Structure 1
Amino acid sequence: MRALSLAANLPAAAHALVSWRGRPPMDRGWYAAQGYRPGRGQVGHYLLAGRRAGWSPHPLLEPSWVAPTSWRRRWPDPLAAPDPLSAGHPALAPGALSVRAAGSLPRTATVASVLGGPVGYGHLRDAIVAAAGQRREQEALRTLPRVRDRWTTPPASAGVVADLPTVSVVLPVRDRPRQVVEAIESVQAQSHPHWQLIVVDDGSSDATPDVVAGIAARDPRVELVRADHGGVSAARNLGASHATGAVLAWLDSDNTWTPDHLRTMLTALAVTGAESAYAVLEQHAADGVRYRALDAGRPALALRNHIDLNVLVARRHAVEAIGGFDTSLRRAVDYDLVLRLAERSRPLFVPVVGARYDARRDAADRVTVRESSTWSDVVRARRLVDWAALESGLEARVAHRLSVIVVIAQSVPAAVFVPTLLDAVRHAEGQVEVVVVDAGGSRATGTALAGLAATCEHMTVLRWPAPMTPGWALAHALESTSGAALAVPDAGTRLTPGYDLALRSALSAGVVHLGEELLGVRAADLVAVRGADALDPTPGWRAGLASRVSGGARGANRAP
């Protein structure tokens, strides 16, 4: 196929594109799976827009594997462009295809030697197109606009509800005497008068508790609870234990509410019967004002939190049913609570600004600055994996089956992971299954993985549309395994014949290492400690898992 540019004559270019030795290289179903919407014809769209966006016209043509300069010359490939330059191409030689980057594969690999037999294109195409469709759906969720530059509040439609309930507001604070006054004043300014404000002082070393005590002396609706420093989650749980209202709301000391926030949210709960609801957060930063607002449910939440705790309200019985805040988390505690509430029922989105947050003040003192962002993966490993089901299903696992889990990072090229996956099956002596986690890989990676899985009945591909820590990826894959023993090699590890037998024989001692890049562990041991530490993004996670399994310690992903 001739690589085309916009400088070429469009009719002639289109003719060249759709005329490839009598077979059309523009696969319409494949192109549509990448997100094409009917409008201009697919060929015209590809030439004018799709090519620049990196789209592929056909499952067997992957632009990212071709140098950009190749678009300006004919390909030296007899399958794509009959040309005298292609006369000496190795693919014309009888027999095998020369494989350069396949690691442990033989120098000459045939379809039969690698895949075990002929592969029908229709079956392969269906698998690749399905993978492209899944990627498009996941990317649509991942890229939903969670923060906007502008926000216009729609006209009110809920009406007025009489006899709204009392709401208990929990406000934790530590060493912020000035900010806490502003936060309390925003509660006192609420148009809904029936509220109880519980300010929990989390071990302040300055005048903060005295300032709050002075306000409480003048307003009986404000209550001060003093506590030793135990963290924001413990403070919020302590505050909730003093609550008398049917609804709970939360406010941080560096946030303020808009005057009608409580009335609006309570009205929304009353009209819809929802268990929880959230509004829009107005965020002030050095580069301007942004609005955190997205009407989406748990599938979008699983990828990224879009609900701020300061604009969330929930019925008290729902919060008590899920156990309140997880005190073992040092960050992402609001994300954890929201995920558990969303598991019960979808939080209702109320499209009005409920709170204002100034990110310019005291930035160094915030948890989001002090703690690692990988705490979100800890939350996912705890809440998106059914550990109870895994534990109850241990007896049903196949005793003599080894489950090989391979995590493909976002930047790992196909030439690195393909040999690993093929070796996992080809060099095994016993029953082996391969579960691949594609952690935010490109379409090219997904295409290669889907094609391999379509030719290997013992291979499963799980795609997650973002980078993952090893512990979260391992937990995500665990539910798709069926073997009593697990092996976790690096993506580029060369597996030698009999590796599975060596792992099985050594697993009686717990976690084992065969070299620095291959780890083995019994499924029962991994489930018992709730997986590897999802907080650790470094290669040291293996040593941490080995230590935890051998010591029988509680895993980092285990909820209290």
Structure 2
Amino acid sequence: ISGGKIKLLRSNKRTGVSSARNAGLAKASNPWIAYLDSDNCLKPNFLSTFASSIVEHPSHRLFYSCFENESDGAVRGRRPFNRPALLKANYIDLGAFVHSRDLFRSLGGFDTTMRRLVDWDLIIRYTEKAPAVFIPCPLMIYNDAATDRSRISVGESLDDARVYLREKHGMPITITTLIPAYNHETYISQALDSAVKQVGDFNHEIIVCDDGSSDGTRSILKGYAHRYRHLVRDISNDENLGISGTFRKCIDNATGDFIAILEGDDYWSSAEKLQKQLRFLIDNPDCSMVFSMIDVV
């Protein structure tokens, strides 16, 4: 602080993370902005790598990299920039995101009316005006202590934030289809085909999870996840967790506004199954779930 590289800003009252970040943005004097939450950590080559990329891409104003989980070292956010995919789910962490100061001056800072998903909101607004450059190496270590109730990402309502964000940016509703499977080699392709063929005015995310099968189920799931990489996400278990544990894992990984379940030995007979049920729920807001008749084969 005494050397002038660190400036300390104080507030007389708690105003929230958006206001705190906006205060910092207003005082920033350099042409490029990076962010660091107090529970995360930058790698030593963070600034030098971003600086090199900025020099290599002089016409761009947004840059981001992937990052590592502190708990297990898993690399996340390893995805080249794709705005339609970004509108479905945020894969850019603010701690691995750098932008030019002029974007803040022209588009404003963080939305102070929001308590959750504020990072996603800012990234959506900025990338609407300027495409982002992806740096394919992890440059930030993310503290993924998801059970810490003091964190905004856990304590505040996710559903309320999603509704607000969707209305603000005109984003379509997202449905997550969960497909748990165990020794379903004979049936799983038919189940997956019926899921990927769903059509309607919604974003679709499919999460597949093999529960330690002894047949070829897991190999088939990997093939679909590779073929439909922007639609199907494979989170298969390394060991058998049982049906309850597998469902819990699938639900914890879902990002959709609504959840549908398709077991690995079943399939949907209509490509409009999700659209029809979504329309019913929208038209009947007092209902929280919907089901249909089934055919037994």
CA contact (8 A) 1:335 1:376 kept: no
SS at match of 2:38: coil
Match in the other structure for 1:539: 286
The counterpart of 2:204, out of the listed 465, 471, 493, is 465
Q: 1:275 to 1:490 in 2, by over 3 A?
A: closer
Matches within 5 A, 1:90-489: 216=1, 218-227=2-11, 228-273=13-58, 274-285=60-71, 288-292=72-76, 293-360=78-145, 363-374=148-159, 375-384=161-170, 444=194, 461-466=200-205, 467-468=256-257
Distance in 2 between residues matched to 1:260 and 1:221, nearest whole Å:
18
Distance in 2 between residues matched to 1:291 and 1:408, nearest whole Å:
25
Q: Given residue 203 of structure 2, which amino acid in structure 1 is its aligned partner?
A: W
Q: Given residue 165 of structure 2, which amino acid in structure 1 is its aligned partner?
A: V
Structure 2 residues not aligned, in runs of 5+: 178-190, 206-255, 259-276, 289-297
User: Residues 281-324 of structure 1, C-alpha deviation per residue, up to 9 Å, x if partnerless?
Assistant: 11122xx2211121132011011111110111100001222211
Distance in 1 between residues matched to 2:287 and 2:32, nearest whole Å:
44
Q: Given residue 84 of structure 2, which amino acid in structure 1 is its aligned partner?
A: P
Q: 1:410 to 1:247 in 2, by over 3 A?
A: closer
TM-score normalised by structure 1 residue count? 0.33
CA contact (8 A) 2:176 2:204 kept: no
Which is higher, the Rg of structure 1 or of structure 2?
1
Distance in 1 between residues matched to 2:6 and 2:88, nearest whole Å:
37
Structure of greater relative contact order (alpha carbons < 8 Å, 6+ residues apart): 2
Q: 1:462 to 1:359 in 2, by over 3 A?
A: closer
Structure 1 residues not aligned, in runs of 5+: 1-215, 387-406, 412-440, 451-460, 470-488, 494-516, 520-537, 542-560
CA contact (8 A) 1:302 1:380 kept: no
SS at match of 1:356: strand
User: Residues 422-447 of structure 1, C-alpha deviation per residue, up to 9 Å, x if partnerless?
Assistant: xxxxxxxxxxxxxxxxxxx9865886
Q: 1:306 to 1:492 in 2, by over 3 A?
A: closer
User: Residues 213-262 of structure 1, C-alpha deviation per residue, up to 9 Å, x if partnerless?
Assistant: xxx2x332111111121110010001111111111111100011111211
TM-score normalised by structure 2 residue count? 0.59
Structure 1 runs (4+) deviating above 6 angstroms are 407-411
CA contact (8 A) 1:252 1:310 kept: yes
Q: Given residue 468 of structure 1, which amino acid in structure 2 is its aligned partner?
A: D
Aligned residues: 204
User: Residues 359-395 of structure 1, C-alpha deviation per residue, up to 9 Å, x if partnerless?
Assistant: 2498221111102333234323312459xxxxxxxxx
SS at match of 1:282: strand
User: Residues 70-102 of structure 1, C-alpha deviation per residue, up to 9 Å, x if partnerless?
Assistant: xxxxxxxxxxxxxxxxxxxxxxxxxxxxxxxxx
Q: Given residue 65 of structure 2, which amino acid in structure 1 is its aligned partner?
A: A
Q: Given residue 303 of structure 1, which amino acid in structure 2 is its aligned partner?
A: K
Distance in 2 between residues matched to 1:304 and 1:351, nearest whole Å:
19
CA contact (8 A) 1:341 1:347 kept: no
Q: 1:462 to 1:245 in 2, by over 3 A?
A: same
1:339 Cα offset (Å): 0.9
SS at match of 1:310: helix
Q: 1:307 to 1:410 in 2, by over 3 A?
A: closer
Distance in 2 between residues matched to 1:238 and 1:328, nearest whole Å:
15
Identity over aligned pairs, percent = 26
Q: 1:349 to 1:321 in 2, by over 3 A?
A: same
User: Residues 159-201 of structure 1, C-alpha deviation per residue, up to 9 Å, x if partnerless?
Assistant: xxxxxxxxxxxxxxxxxxxxxxxxxxxxxxxxxxxxxxxxxxx
Distance in 2 between residues matched to 1:313 and 1:262, nearest whole Å:
10
Q: 1:491 to 1:272 in 2, by over 3 A?
A: closer
1:349 Cα offset (Å): 0.7
CA RMSD, Structure 1 to Structure 2 (Å): 3.4
SS at match of 2:28: coil
CA contact (8 A) 1:297 1:342 kept: no
